[in-house]
Structure 1
Amino acid sequence: PVCSCVLLFAVFMDLFGVSALLIGVFVPLEIGGRDFGDLLVYSGALLVLMSMGGWVMWYSGNIEGLISGNELTHKRNAVDRFARTLSRRIRKAHRSHSTS
């Protein structure tokens, strides 16, 4: 339920923001000799930026359950061994180049 509300927020902010942005760019809006196009461009851009927060919240709320630490133990040990081996090889190669 929360994810659907955040999705609606993001979609509406995108729609309103892009609409305001395009109206501000393409429609001449002068009232009393003052141009209000810039106001719509800036407010549209702000709404689109606000929608990015909604998209991030929606996406992070839809991530499937993360793997527990017990399930990662075997993989973590293999990665640690690989990193240590690679580090030793690089250190060994660096020492042989620095002494030459």
Structure 2
Amino acid sequence: MCGGLSHCKLALGFAVFMDLLGGSALLVGVFAPLRFRGKDFGDLFVYTGALFVLMSLGGWVLWYTGNIEGLSSRKELGHIGSAVDRLARNLSRRFRGYQSHR
């Protein structure tokens, strides 16, 4: 049933729950008359709902990054991977050598 969701189902659940809670609070804050002792509390619900939606963004980022497949192995990269490794190693050695002569 949840095979397409893959990994990090807890982060997905958190993100969806916070979106629902934040969206509900936003709608209540905008459309419901929330007066108590002459004071309007609609803004409180709007800001709280926006905060919940912002917090859900963290859950979405966690879920998305948890579902990224691992980087390609060296065997899959073949000759290009070893060339990139050599280039990075050579640049690193030159940079270290330059700093040690200062």
What is the TM-score when the length of structure 2 is the normalising length?
0.67
CA RMSD across the alignment: 2.2
Between the aligned residues of both structures, percent identity stands at 66
Q: Tell me the number of residue pairs that the alignment of Structure 1 and Structure 2 aligns.
A: 79
Alignment partner for residue 20 of structure 2, among 15, 18, 21?
15
Which 4+ stretches in 1 moved above 3 angstroms?
Answer: 73-79
User: What are structure 1's unaligned runs of at least 5 residues?
Assistant: 80-100
Task: Using the TM superposition, give the Cα deviation of residue 74 of structure 1 relative to its aligned residue in structure 2, in angstroms.
Answer: 3.2
Q: Deviations over 1:46-92 (max 9, x none)?
A: 0000000000000110112221244335345899xxxxxxxxxxxxx
What is the TM-score when the length of structure 1 is the normalising length?
0.69
Could you say which structure has the larger radius of gyration? 1
User: What are structure 2's unaligned runs of at least 5 residues?
Assistant: 1-5, 85-102
Partner of 1:55: helix, strand, or coil? helix
Task: Using the TM superposition, give the Cα deviation of residue 28 of structure 1 relative to its aligned residue in structure 2, in angstroms.
Answer: 1.0
**AA of the residue aligned to 1:22:** L
Alignment partner for residue 62 of structure 1, among 51, 54, 67?
67
Whichever structure has more helix as a proportion of its residues is 1
Task: Using the TM superposition, give the Cα deviation of residue 40 of structure 1 relative to its aligned residue in structure 2, in angstroms.
Answer: 0.3
